[in-house]
Amino acid sequence: MAQVQQQLQSSPDGLTQAEAANRLEQYGPNEIAEHKRNPLLKFLSYFWGPIPWMIEIAVILSGAVGHWPDFFIILVLLIANAVVGYTEERQAGNAIDALKAKLAINARALRDGQWVTPAARELVPGDVIRLRLGDIVPADARLLAGDEIEVDQSALTGESLPATCQAGDAVFSGSVVRRGEIGALVYATGTGTYFGKTAELVQDAHTVSHFQKAVLKIGNYLIILAVALVAVIVVVSVLRGDPILTTLQFALVLTVAAIPVAMPTVLSVTMAVGARLLAKKKAIVSKLVAIEELAGVDILCADKTGTLTQNSLTLGDPFSLEGTSAAQVILAGALASRAENNDPIDLAVLGGLEDKTALDGYQVTHFEPFNPVDKRTEATVTGSDGTTFKVSKGAPQVILALAQDTAKIKTIVDAAVDDFAAKGFRALGVARAQGSGGWKFLGVLPLFDPPREDAASTIATAKAMGVAVKMVTGDAIAIARETAGKVGLGTDILDAAGLGDVKKTETAEVAHSIETADGFAQVFPEHKYHIVDVLQQRGHIVGMTGDGVNDAPALKKADCGIAVSGATDAARAAAAIVLLTPGLSVIIDAIKESRKIFQRMNSYAIYRIAETLRVLLFMTLAILVFNFYPVTAIMIVMLALLNDGAILSIAYDNVRYEMKPEAWNMRLVLGISTVLGVIGPIAAFGLFYLGDQIFDLGRPRLQTMMYLMLSVAGHLTIFLTRTRGPFWSIRPARILLLAVLGTQTIATLIAVYGLFMTPLGWGWAAFVWGYALIWALASDRIKLLAYRIFDPIRTTADPDTNNPPSQTDSTGRSSVTAPSVSAAFHTDADLRDPVFHDNTDCPHGAEIKSHHHDQPGTGHRRRCDWCAQHDQPLVANK
């Protein structure tokens, strides 16, 4: 240590602010520099790959056959596509960088003799820092004088057990303090750290979510379909003796139009937009893939303290053993507390002192902070008379185990703890040891943490959305039951002591009890991980909240780990979403927002498949059956460009979140998109027949008409795929409406005035618009029928109960389709069907906008737009 201090020209007194600034210039920031690609190379990468190669070959072939208009237009569109993709992804990346900046770790450093909290990136060699339980070590450092600590170095060494480190030992950046508190002298920062050298090797690794994988599979399917059908066109054209270069040029352009070129951009933009929306709700997404996982969460394991309760503890009237006064119990508890740690329990105990000067005559010579294993604090104190003694506070059972006379007092102490618990109070045991003598139990301090005002209503909302909330707490069962009952969770609380650890395989009965329990009490870190593991094995998508270092493994294990407000560095690092405000409501808001994002992605997938099928089937059949190219290569390229330009705006569209967890339903997506993709060619061939046989427009004008038809009908399909109900059931976002109107205005003007094609004229353009609108209205009704076929309602109402039946989604998970209601209803004698009275709201509590009279004598039934859109029966429990 002496050599290190000499080499760094530092001491345990730390650096001055001026010296730290100079060293920051010398050594650079304490961070791992990201390998960001050169912007020019990044832009040029949009011209490299299978899809750009196809477009570039099409450009070359256009020049080879002398089709110079095709050559220049395709070249311009190739560059335009690269510019749009580069710009959108750059904006998405900037948005995520801005969000991550909010999660920057702060350190505690000694500067100018004062403890300050600079950003960890501003630490320099020679800084003296303070490490506490739950901190991520911000730089390589050597420990100064103090008690030994335990450090989890598993991220660096793979060793699962924490390492015990003493004064003079080195601790490394990225490791986590599991127990204890101590000062340390920084000797290496940034890429000079042990972690930095390793991190540079792996920092470019990326994770792809289940949803992204599914959508990319759709992309591969479309590519294979496009190549197969285009190959058929090429073979037939060659056999017919068509010019080979012209055929290849057309085939390449058609393939490019069919392949979802914009898919990666739409994915990244939609996710980034969603992350920004969640940030406005004070939920920072540190891993973008968490948005998709959060949409599917059906069980949320929520911490009690700070999430379901206010985390503003107040001290009640203590219980003291005979011979000890209540004031003495509070004083001993206060001596075992530290105000500077800002721990809610410590602050509550210190706040219970009637005389704020009571601690002035005492000097704490040694303090052992709380850790989740020992579950107690301990302080060595020297009194004003020079006598030395120890005090400790913590879990009553732990303090009882310390005491010498445990057997005599256990019954009375347990009764006091149970009495406090029944009233909703958390109990702390307090003990004192004189000199080197044994511990004497003094009494019990009751702490009350009232439930959050919005907890009950938020939990009710979660249940209505198909999310089961389970409370997880280290408190006693009685306290857990009391709190759970107050917030509307139910009182089926399991004692976590009866559960296994990570390696244990539970029986079917125990696993079922975990699945159905309302919460868990007396929970240790390994229990949280085990609970998540069992629930995942039972087929659930699990969200887990946490704040402490002990929560990190469970947060990492959960499908969506959520670090709550005020969480430790370790919890934040392990979580996928970090909350900036306390409470459960922000989590529910985040779930709603993530389900909306999922809906937008689902709409895009259906639209992309349907549009590809529409163009490919129409083009292939027209060439094979009629030996006629219904559109030119330039038309196809402009069609693709306008489509991609408009569909980007779907990331901002208005959608309604589902009242059950989202799950990828490939059968439904492929079914609906195939139906819409087959209707399109039927409508196109109808217009083709009218233009060719009835109106005899001639082939050049007919090509222009078909171009306008494919463009208009394709964009109208966006409005069909974005809703499950009638297309007017959800108002589109203004940006989507403007994008579609803008692109279609351009397409219409191109067709009317004949830019690179034969002019069509305003009259025929109006005819095409009218024809496309009529077919869109018809397609919308067919879409509704297709939804009934591919996704029939699988529930039936039970006239004898007022509870909604469960519904099984495509993953096999059970979910609640609507909230329970207590509305009065009568049963019609003829139909045996529950009917709402005229003055009753829809079960969702939504605004009633549509009324419905069924058969005579059945009463006046009502439902909201959500029920109407989803074809929910007009019954009480829907």
Please list the active-site residues.
Answer: 303
Please state, in angstroms and as integers, the Cα–Cα distance from residue 511 to each residue in 337, 498, 528, 538, 754, following that order: 39, 12, 14, 8, 69
Sign of CA dihedral 136, 142, 146, 152: positive
- Residues 573/195, Cβ–Cβ less than 8 Å: no
Half-sphere exposure of 685 (CA within 13 A, CB side): 15
CA 334-340-342 angle, 5° bins: 85
CA 509 to chain centre: 31
3-state SS, 642-701, equals HHHHHHHHHHHCCCCCCCCCCCCCHHHHHHHHHHHHHHHHHHHHHHHHHHHHHCCCCHHH
Three-state secondary-structure class, residue 774: helix
The pair of three-digit structure tokens given for residue 550, joined into one six-digit string: 């002990």
The pair of three-digit structure tokens given for residue 486, joined into one six-digit string: 């107050």
- Residues 414/406, Cβ–Cβ less than 8 Å: no
Range list of H helices, 117-208: 154-157, 194-202
The pair of three-digit structure tokens given for residue 537, joined into one six-digit string: 């094995």
DSSP-assigned beta bridge partners for residue 367: 379
The pair of three-digit structure tokens given for residue 48, joined into one six-digit string: 């490299």
How far, in Å, CA of 874 to CA of 878, rounded? 7
**Where are the extended beta strands (E) located within 677-822?**
806-808, 814-816
Sign of CA dihedral 698, 701, 707, 712: negative
The number of residues in the chain equals 878
Other beta carbons less than 10 A from residue 639's beta carbon: 21
- The distance in angstroms from the start CA to the end CA of the chain is 71
Sign of CA dihedral 563, 497, 458, 583: negative
Please state, in angstroms and as integers, the Cα–Cα distance from residue 115 to each residue in 17, 173, 183, following that order: 11, 20, 11
How far, in Å, CA of 614 to CA of 616, rounded? 6
* Residue 333: closest CA among 248, 445, 427: 445
User: DSSP assignment of 59-108, as one string?
Assistant: HHHHHHTT-HHHHHHHHHHHHHHHHHHHHHHHHHHHHHHHHHHTTPPB--
- Residues 576/543, Cβ–Cβ less than 8 Å: no
How far, in Å, CA of 239 to CA of 235, rounded? 6
**Residue type (1 letter), 350:** L
Backbone dihedral region for residue 202 (phi beyond 0: left; psi -120 to 50: alpha; all else: beta): alpha
Backbone dihedral region for residue 323 (phi beyond 0: left; psi -120 to 50: alpha; all else: beta): left
How far, in Å, CA of 168 to CA of 145, rounded? 8
- Residues 698/755, Cβ–Cβ less than 8 Å: no
The pair of three-digit structure tokens given for residue 29, joined into one six-digit string: 């920031």
Contacts of 356 (CB under 8 A, 6+ apart): none
* Residue 370: closest CA among 350, 392, 388, 354: 392
